Structure 1
Amino acid sequence: MSSAGRVSAYRARMRAAGLRPVQVWVPDVRSDSFAAQARTQAARIADAAAHSDDMQFVEAISSSWDE
């Protein structure tokens, strides 16, 4: 059986099992723009300590899961 035939049979079995194919697009982690964005976001997270009063406010107005 050719590889195309095996793929076709596999997909037919999956569909018969009630599944369907889904295509998912994700960021290319190898790109320069991804690395730049990751550095920017990491710097913002590192800088979050300077804005800790924001998190204290959020925690003060939030209820715990136990309540």
Structure 2
Amino acid sequence: IISTPQCVLCEMYPTTLYGYIIHLQKHHKSNLNDNGIFLLCACGIEGRTDRSSRNHNEECDGRQF
């Protein structure tokens, strides 16, 4: 069962919120803002920038978004 969203630019499914950000940076030379997307944590927090998402990942383990 896949519980994380598919990358908006390819077929990959990064396993954590932080992994999603790193995937965008390494594989697509991009970030959340460049693509006009945000990541919504299961707790309700919206990650609209790489930095805010990365910081929140540490609080909630980043696996439910």
Q: TM-score, normalised by structure 1?
A: 0.20
With a CA cutoff of 8 Å and minimum separation of 6, indicate the structure with the bigger relative contact order: 2
Name the one with the larger helix percent: 1
Name the one with the larger strand percent: 2
